[in-house]
Structure 1
Amino acid sequence: MQQPASTLATLWQIILRLIEKQGLDAEQFSRELGISAEVLRDPTARLPSRLTDRAFAKAEAVLADPAFALRAAECWHPSNLGIIGFAWLSSRTLHTGLKRMERFSRILGSRFSYRCAMEDRGLRFVYNHGRGDWDVGHAMTDFSLSILVDMCRTNIGHRLEPLEVTLRRPEPADTSPWRDYFGCKVRFGADEDSFLLDGETANAPLPTVNVPLANTFDAILTEQLATVFNDDIVSRCKAFLLRELTSGEPSAAALALALCMSQRSLQRRLAALGLTFQGILDETRHELARRYLDDSSKSVTEITFLLGFSEQSAFTRAFRRWSGMSPTGYRGNSAFAH
């Protein structure tokens, strides 16, 4: 059974700071929504997404500024995003950080999603708030994209300006708040909410990089996905594989046993999603291999055994099948090492 949509409670600290910046009483605002201060301090707590809808609808009803949510960029802190916030700060590049946001977005909010797409001009980051063209969704988009762009600016160490921003929001009478904040062309009435970064900026090494720490955070986040969303069979599979890979190649039978189901039931569940055990194993190994190869302190031999391969030649063949190049070729090619 699908779980009700929910949002990480600590994200609400950003919403309430934003409310305060608009001159409203944040404590009263949260009380009227039935949200206690204690739950907002609990890093594991989650709140129903319908409360987020009500919060933005309530704010829009009393505020005259249609661009109010852009000021969320002034209100965030990495801790508000939980482990994801710190994984972001330790990312090797903006591309890596944005891919992390894509991969683990469900921890922040299970209704919205992110998507990274490489284009001729660079990296496009797409946000989908999951509510069509609903009016409050436009404010949620401003809220999310303004924070994400500011996160990029924080990580890169200077004011970054996207090449372009597209918004599904109809063009407002005054477009200057959006143009001033993003510092680029903003196209309203678009098919998707997104921003575009040039490839050089997206793949430039960041001053805050800490690859071993980022890899540790990724393992924790994968466990969180599997624990919080027990209906997410893929995350539960990946969490098991991450735990078991260093002991050798995990089997489908061992995975099924860990998930308390028969191997046939596991196969059926995965097949319904167009997936196989071997496909998930390969994807998990490929993701890990890229992360380990980004860490110059790890040798290819060490990575071979961390991924559960018995010999380096087997790892090299597998990595060439996944990416079209050898592990050493990938490590030496900065255009791919993101």
Structure 2
Amino acid sequence: MTTQSSLASAWLILFRLLEAHGAKPQSWLRELGADPALARQPGARLPSWLVDVIVTRAAALIEDPAFGLGAAGCWHPSSLGVLGYAWLSSSTLHQGLKRIERYARLLGDRWSCRCVDEADGLRFVCDHGRSDMIVGPVMADYTLSLTLAMCRSNFERTLNPARVFLRRPMPADPRPYHDSFACEVHFGALEDALVLSSSDVEALLPTANRELAATFDAILAEQLAVRSKDDLVSRCQVFLLKQLTSGEPSVGDLGKALGMSRRTLQRKLNEMGTSYQQLLVETRYALAKRYLHDSAKSVTEITFLLGFSEQAAFTRAFKRWSGAAPRDYRQRVDA
């Protein structure tokens, strides 16, 4: 597992999208102990697991199953920090998408992307890093529609992909996807991707500025170097994964396993913008969703696998994280 945080300013896109559908994502964040004001602080980050909680709640509230496509109308370069402005200064879409690929971790540790050259163009593949059958498809819609909107904003003429691929199964009404992407859309694919023609990705963009791009790249490279330091959070999460079945481990146990005092561990985690309790919640939530996808595991069994002493405690915690009781969540996934 990797450090799981996301650029706080990128949350502004999600705020705008969900609020347009009547949801209250900022209130939900406060309920979960996070400060929505961080979204307006340059360089601030929020735990990635919160995205899953917010999107799960929104999916239960919003009637339109394709609401993630609306991200296309909610973005602004500033929402992506320095990378947003580096994108605008790219000479071609090919360079811009390669720039997104290179610095993707600055936007979020859970997702990745890659550019694949094809005979007739460039395939941009996104991996949202989620197996969740509720959150995953929404994030795929969200990410690809946002990527295409970014490409269209830089382009002088009408821009439509050659093809779009989505892992989600064919929806009851595929029209919103054809309307949004304006091309052939393949559902049930092996990956989430869009393909742009060679002529489009190599065309010189009107916003190109090589000097600015070089300046932004230098800043981004420095930011990425900071994000790539030895990952203490991953080591903590590995320990928690191993110990949860024996009950909830203490921060002292964790510090001892990592060869440092409790105070030192807490200080280091605080410097990384997280805490022992935050890591415990994030790890439990990820495991809970994975286990609930396995119909062979009962809720009682999952309770003890996650280190809870009683089922009621697990039910309360899961409802706080996802907005639904474990059994209700399982029923939605199986539907």
1:113 corresponds in structure 2 to 112
Compute the displacement of 1:111 (Å): 1.3
Compute the displacement of 1:200 (Å): 0.5
Give the structure-2-normalised TM-score. Answer: 0.67
Distance 2:29 2:134 in 1: 22
2:47 corresponds in structure 1 to 48
1:86 corresponds in structure 2 to 85
2:156 corresponds in structure 1 to 157
Distance 1:171 1:3 in 2: 32
> Deviations along 1:67-99, whole A, 9 cap, x unmatched?
001101111100000010000000000000000
Specify the SS of the correspondent of 1:195.
Answer: strand
Q: Which amino acid aligns with 1:59?
A: A
Matches within 5 A, 1:122-137: 122-132=121-131, 134-137=133-136
Instruction: Tell me, yes or no, if the aligned pair for 1:17 and 1:26 is still in contact at 8 Å.
Output: no
Compute the displacement of 1:35 (Å): 2.6
1:30 corresponds in structure 2 to 29
Compute the displacement of 1:167 (Å): 0.1
Compute the displacement of 1:157 (Å): 2.9
> Deviations along 1:26-62, whole A, 9 cap, x unmatched?
4423323333132111111111111011111111011
Q: What residue ranges of structure 1 are gaps of 5+ in the alignment?
A: 233-338
Alpha-carbon spacing, 1:181–1:28, altered in 2? closer, same or farther (3 Å): same
1:145 corresponds in structure 2 to 144
Give the structure-1-normalised TM-score. Answer: 0.66
Specify the SS of the correspondent of 1:226.
Answer: helix
Higher mean C-alpha displacement, 164-173 vs 26-35 = 26-35
Distance 1:33 1:165 in 2: 35
Q: Which runs of 4+ in 1 moved over 2 A?
A: 24-35, 132-135
Distance 1:131 1:40 in 2: 23
RMSD: 1.4
Instruction: Tell me, yes or no, if the aligned pair for 1:33 and 1:55 is still in contact at 8 Å.
Output: no
Higher mean C-alpha displacement, 69-78 vs 19-28 = 19-28
Distance 1:58 1:97 in 2: 33
Q: Which amino acid aligns with 1:19?
A: L
Instruction: Tell me, yes or no, if the aligned pair for 2:110 and 2:128 is still in contact at 8 Å.
Output: yes
Distance 1:77 1:57 in 2: 24
Q: What residue ranges of structure 2 are gaps of 5+ in the alignment?
A: 232-335
Q: Which amino acid aligns with 1:10?
A: S
Distance 2:169 2:31 in 1: 30
Q: Which amino acid aligns with 2:213?
A: A
Correspondence 1:60 to 2:59? yes
Q: Which amino acid aligns with 2:221?
A: T
Distance 1:24 1:160 in 2: 31
Alpha-carbon spacing, 1:91–1:74, altered in 2? closer, same or farther (3 Å): same
Correspondence 1:167 to 2:166? yes
The number of equivalent residue pairs is 231
Distance 2:26 2:158 in 1: 33
Distance 2:225 2:167 in 1: 32
Instruction: Tell me, yes or no, if the aligned pair for 1:3 and 1:229 is still in contact at 8 Å.
Output: no
2:206 corresponds in structure 1 to 207
Correspondence 1:95 to 2:94? yes
Instruction: Tell me, yes or no, if the aligned pair for 2:161 and 2:194 is still in contact at 8 Å.
Output: yes
User: Greater RCO between the two (CA within 8 Å, min separation 6)?
Assistant: 2
Higher mean C-alpha displacement, 130-139 vs 26-35 = 26-35
Correspondence 1:179 to 2:189? no
Compute the displacement of 1:128 (Å): 0.4
1:229 corresponds in structure 2 to 228
